[in-house]
Amino acid sequence: MTLTRRNFLRSSAVSAAAIAGVGASHAAELPKGAEWNETCSLLVIGTGFAGLGAALESHYLGMKDILVVDKMPSAGGNSIINGGAIAAAGTDMQAKAGIKDNADLLYSDILKAGGGIAHANLARRIADESVSNYEWLRDEVGVNFKAVTYHGGHSVPRSHAVQENTGAGFINPMLAKCKEFGIKIQLRTIVDDLIVNDKGCVVGVKARINHRFNRPDSGKVVYIRATKGVLIASGGFSQNVRMRTSHDPRLTKEFTSTNHPGATGEMIQEAQQVGANTIHMDWIQLGPWTSPDENGFGLAPLAVESMVGYGPMINPKTSKRFIKETGNRKVRADAIVAIGAPAVIFTNEQNFMNKVVGKNMKQEQFEQALKNGVIRKFDDLKSLAEFYKLDYSVLEKETEKFNGYMKAKKDPEFDCMFFDDGVPNEKGPFYAIRLWPRVHHTMGGIEINEQAQVLNVKGEPISGLYAAGEATGGVHGMVRLGTVAVADCIIFGRIAARTANKWAGC
Amino acid sequence: MTLTRRNFLRSSAVSAAAIAGVGASHAAELPKGAEWNETCSLLVIGTGFAGLGAALESHYLGMKDILVVDKMPSAGGNSIINGGAIAAAGTDMQAKAGIKDNADLLYSDILKAGGGIAHANLARRIADESVSNYEWLRDEVGVNFKAVTYHGGHSVPRSHAVQENTGAGFINPMLAKCKEFGIKIQLRTIVDDLIVNDKGCVVGVKARINHRFNRPDSGKVVYIRATKGVLIASGGFSQNVRMRTSHDPRLTKEFTSTNHPGATGEMIQEAQQVGANTIHMDWIQLGPWTSPDENGFGLAPLAVESMVGYGPMINPKTSKRFIKETGNRKVRADAIVAIGAPAVIFTNEQNFMNKVVGKNMKQEQFEQALKNGVIRKFDDLKSLAEFYKLDYSVLEKETEKFNGYMKAKKDPEFDCMFFDDGVPNEKGPFYAIRLWPRVHHTMGGIEINEQAQVLNVKGEPISGLYAAGEATGGVHGMVRLGTVAVADCIIFGRIAARTANKWAGC
């Protein structure tokens, strides 16, 4: 039995889209008096890793009239301010550096960090496609990789860092390729409603063009038809305080975020409005490597992830170590929040120059961070202890112990991981950074299957609707490992393009 | 701007209800050719603690024509097979037993177990109303309370057990009162769709009467108008494998559940279809006190919760203790699952007869459990060790240590809590139970505010839609403490009735 009732869409930000019954047999109907202003093939919402990955893959598959929209005035979303490295397991760069790695090891690392709730089918796709994706970025897109780095929680170094040391190293070549291929990228275009036809298929959107982010109601309404469906690649909700406190009341506005201001998650809510399921929404990752001495993502994370394993992380209240420095993000962030005061990590100049400067962090970034007091240089341990008001004799003993563990490559206290090129912290100068976590990544989001199709609350795909990247949940489970999200975004963006390409419409 | 488009509801189980735009100004419209078959004031979905609490409160508030529906052939849902005790903090029974307790202590216990993600405003309501709710049950409903018992994770004994030792001790008097007051309870009535009018208000449901649970498509369609709105009091989703594995892939069909077969959560999904937000869905509680030697909820839990603190819990692989016996449910269940084999808890006859038999467990239940091998009696520790294939000498030492801690009322190893009437386990006979967790309670669910109104994904109430009990999320956060859910269900069921009573319609 099929029943009819009228329904109404609203044009304000608090819109509620209509849901059509799955399997009903009537044709789509646009709002009375409205017409499609524009028709594209795949409509991509978002210009970050996932969105641009999808746009480029669509082009390579031969699709025409791809349209990429973004509500912000500039392209790149949160991706462009990312740390600039991507996980890949079993690459030529790793082989050259003598690192043994493979897809199974990456897969098991993802699942281990996921705490048992990661969706194995999604993790498997990332693990299986990580090398070909890395090669595609290098050979087709023109990304310049320069070094394999280590991030906490991984079994081996497998984070492939770009020359630029930020996500711009991926985004800019991707944008250049879009331009070269004539892929239309339309900024300041915010999507208010997904339009669902009476067969339950997503066939387009209601959006506003010439939107200004700081004026929520601004812009002119347009209807965009998408014959190959709509991809939600619009990122997470780290900057949406109402949304994040609904799932985790601790994350009030008192916590700042590393994210760009547009990470407000409204497309996740819009997907929910058309019946999409959401999962793991309460797993919100704090970055353990941000510094209270600067704002946003900042420069500290570029250094910190290359300092772990090379120097101790100190509890300012005890002057002692308190956690596995190479532990995963959640372990470290939770431990610092539990202390209630910023931790201090340091290493000696030899390690710092060898692992950080000119690696994850450019010379000019290093100088900037020194100037701003984000990184501080101390001639010896005593002056370091004095500056941070640590107990020097306790710190000295802790450092001696840590050096012993470094030499033995075994930490019986906290199981810190060590690397062959680590130099014990026996003499200065030392470089130190204070650490206080920020809201960094929302692991939860829209539930998808391994074809990047959005699933409804019953677990069935919503025809014509895809999602990829931080807007989705399931890949990372409880804990996301560093640089896996970049792989997740690009790989699932590309998968979404393949699924859309095969979609016959509806 | 208000826009029109047609929409279609489906009659099958995979229905997708239409969402009307919030604030649109048109009247409700029933499906073409359909008429309201029946009109009630408040429509209550579910006949468990929350549903019956709401129905009775509605009556006391002077509402007429309350209708309570349940898809199952018998009333009581999962509540009727519950353990039969309710949390209340600061009662006369506690005072008589010399237990000091108050609302603030219950509130802080709930938040502590919630791991930081419980919604404080909801926990506060439960804490503040726990005593008046207990008195209402005793004085108005006629529930017979007999003893204050202890459940793991609480600061003090505050679980008020009923004579019957099961949830029937609440449900049967509640049903009798409903009958006395002429409140209509209609079984075998399954709700397929919430009907939302064009102002965004829930005004009724599409349901099927004469439904048979084992035949999903069975029953005759009816439209029920609800002038005071609809209350979702239909419980959790412990028995819905697709739903629970979507949020926690570990909980495959290999895990059994303590719940009645109807705990399948489709009303949570139906609420999602009309725009409701869900929270904390991945926090699914395993009961640590179920026995692999029986099915369902079984008899073991009645005994185990009164044995903790009176005897050690043993890892069968080491013959040693492994966890705080009085720890919360998650701590214990996770620890047993991590062992990978059923744990063994035991205590001596004196404690067992004093705390279990005739208390949480009736004499005939005790005899039944002995007969079925769920509880086993051993003359001495040696025969207990032999039966469970434990290392006797290790077990003997562990037991001696535990006895010492009992006497000192301090456990330096696992911080187990002890009670004044505990008798050290120095001589037999002993009573023992094997423990293997089952899926017991889904902490997550529909997001509500402290008036039991359902919130949409933007955090705004959906007019005319209420939810209470296990169908909701937020009260318990990460971990639900034993017997707090009964208070949650009845208190929020009653709150929903008060909110509905004040609702002017739409």
Looking at residues A327-349, what average pLDDT do you find?
91
Q: Where are the alpha helices (DSSP H) in A137-217?
A: 168-181
Question: In this structure, which amino acid lies at residue A147?
Answer: A
pLDDT of residue A153: 87
Cβ–Cβ < 8 Å for B455, B276: yes
**DSSP code of residue A480:** P
Which residue from B300, B335, B268 is spatially nearest to B472, judged by alpha carbons? Answer: B268
Residue with tokens 């007969």: B371
Task: Read off the pLDDT band of B29 (50, 70, 90).
Answer: low
Question: Quick check: B31 and A246 CB within 8 A?
Answer: no
Looking at residues A49-66, what average pLDDT do you find?
98
Beta bridge partners, B453, equal: B466
pLDDT of residue A340: 85
Is the pLDDT confidence value at A191 over 80?
Answer: yes
Percent of chain B past pLDDT 70, that is, above it, reads: 94
Question: Quick check: B275 and A275 CB within 8 A?
Answer: no
Write the burial class of residue B340 (CB in 10 Å: 0-12 exposed, 13-18 middle, 19+ buried).
exposed
pLDDT of residue A334: 87
Question: Quick check: A7 and B8 CB within 8 A?
Answer: no
Q: Answer with the residue of higher pLDDT: B8 or A365.
A: A365
End-to-end CA distance of chain B: 21
The shortest C-alpha distance from A81 to chain B (Å) reads: 27
Looking at residues A71-84, what average pLDDT do you find?
95
**What whole-number distance in Å separates Cα of residue B368 and Cα of residue A269?**
52
Percent of chain B past pLDDT 90, that is, above it, reads: 85
Give the number of other CB atoms < 10 A from CB of residue B281: 28
> CATH code for A38-237+440-502?
3.50.50.60
User: What separation in angstroms does the CA of A106 have from each of A53, A149, A247, A324, A453?
Assistant: 21, 15, 29, 20, 24
> B332 catalytic, yes or no?
no
Is the pLDDT confidence value at B227 over 60?
Answer: yes
**What whole-number distance in Å separates Cα of residue B4 and Cα of residue B175?**
45
To 10 degrees, the CA torsion angle through B321, B324, B326, B332?
-90
Is the pLDDT confidence value at B75 over 60?
Answer: yes
The shortest C-alpha distance from A33 to chain B (Å) reads: 8
Give the number of other CB atoms < 10 A from CB of residue A362: 17
Please give the class, per CATH, of domain A302-436: alpha beta
Nearest Cβ partner for A7 among B7, B120, B460: B7
Residue with tokens 């990752």: A285
Calculate the average pLDDT of chain A. 92
∠ CA B315-B316-B321, rounded to 5°: 25
pLDDT of residue A29: 55
Question: Quick check: B458 and A283 CB within 8 A?
Answer: no
Write the burial class of residue B116 (CB in 10 Å: 0-12 exposed, 13-18 middle, 19+ buried).
middle
User: What separation in angstroms does the CA of A136 have from each of A53, A76, A132, A262, A491?
Assistant: 10, 19, 6, 28, 10
Q: Answer with the residue of higher pLDDT: B298 or B430.
A: B430
DSSP-derived secondary structure for B13-53: SS-----PPTT--PPP-PPTT---SEEESSEEE--SHHHHH
Q: 3-state class of A58 per DSSP?
A: helix
Task: Read off the pLDDT band of B152 (50, 70, 90).
Answer: confident
Return the biggest CA–CA distance within chain B: 80
Q: Where are the alpha helices (DSSP H) in A356-452?
A: 363-372, 381-387, 392-408
What's the token pair of residue A114?
């996921």
pLDDT tens per residue, range A207-244: 999 999 999 999 999 999 999 999 999 999 999 999 99
Please give the class, per CATH, of domain B38-237+442-502: alpha beta
Q: Which of A1, A2, A5 to mutate to test the interface with B (most CBs of B within 10 A)?
A: A5
List phi, psi (to 5°) of B339.
-65, -40
**What whole-number distance in Å separates Cα of residue A3 and Cα of residue A319?**
69
pLDDT of residue B13: 25
**What whole-number distance in Å separates Cα of residue A481 and Cα of residue B418?**
41
Q: Where are the domains of chain A?
A: 38-237+440-502, 302-436
CA B100 distance to own-chain centroid: 25
Q: What residues of chain B lie within 8 A of the CB of A34, using their CB?
A: 3
Q: In sequence order, what are the residues at sequence separation of 6 or more whose Cβ sits closer than 8 angstroms to the Cβ of residue A179?
A: none
Task: Render the burial of A134-157: b for 16+ CB within 10 Å, e for the rest.
Answer: bebbbeebebebbbbbbbbbbbbb
User: What element of type H or E holds B160?
Assistant: strand B159-162
List phi, psi (to 5°) of B2.
-115, 135
Candidates A138, A158, A329, A434; catalytic one: A329
- Spell out where A150-259 has E strands: 159-162, 184-186, 190-196, 202-209, 220-226, 230-232
Task: Read off the pLDDT band of A506 (50, 70, 90).
Answer: confident
Task: Read off the pLDDT band of B10 (50, 70, 90).
Answer: very low
pLDDT tens per residue, range B279-316: 999 999 999 999 999 988 899 999 998 999 999 999 99
Q: What residues of chain B lie within 8 A of the CB of A273, using their CB?
A: 19, 275, 457
Write the burial class of residue B254 (CB in 10 Å: 0-12 exposed, 13-18 middle, 19+ buried).
exposed
Nearest Cβ partner for A246 among B2, B22, B447: B447
What's the token pair of residue A180?
């070269």
**What whole-number distance in Å separates Cα of residue B269 and Cα of residue B444?**
12
The shortest C-alpha distance from B311 to chain A (Å) reads: 31
Q: Where are the alpha helices (DSSP H) in B97-208?
A: 103-113, 120-136, 168-180
Looking at residues A43-52, what average pLDDT do you find?
98
Cβ–Cβ < 8 Å for A379, A289: no
Question: In this structure, which topology does domain B289-436 adopt according to CATH?
Answer: Flavocytochrome C3; Chain A, domain 1 (3.90.700)
What's the token pair of residue A455?
């699933």
pLDDT tens per residue, range B352-407: 999 999 888 999 999 999 999 999 999 999 999 999 999 999 999 999 999 999 99
Cβ–Cβ < 8 Å for B391, B385: yes
**What whole-number distance in Å separates Cα of residue A479 and Cα of residue A501?**
32
Q: Which of B197, B199, B203, B246 to mutate to test the interface with A (most CBs of A within 10 A)?
A: B246
Nearest Cβ partner for B29 among A5, A33, A246: A5
pLDDT of residue B258: 92
Cβ–Cβ < 8 Å for B2, B179: no
Percent of chain A past pLDDT 70, that is, above it, reads: 94
Q: In sequence order, what are the residues at sequence separation of 6 or more whose Cβ sits closer than 8 angstroms to the Cβ of residue B95?
A: none
Q: What residues of chain A lie within 8 A of the CB of B275, using their CB?
A: 16, 272-273
pLDDT tens per residue, range A434-458: 999 999 999 999 999 999 999 999 9
Which segment of A477-481, B138-142, B265-269, B464-468 scores lowest on mean pLDDT?
A477-481
pLDDT of residue A297: 85
Candidates B125, B188, B329, B438; catalytic one: B329
To 10 degrees, the CA torsion angle through B318, B319, B320, B326?
120
Among A229-243, B29-43, B327-341, the range of highest mean pLDDT: A229-243
pLDDT of residue B30: 72
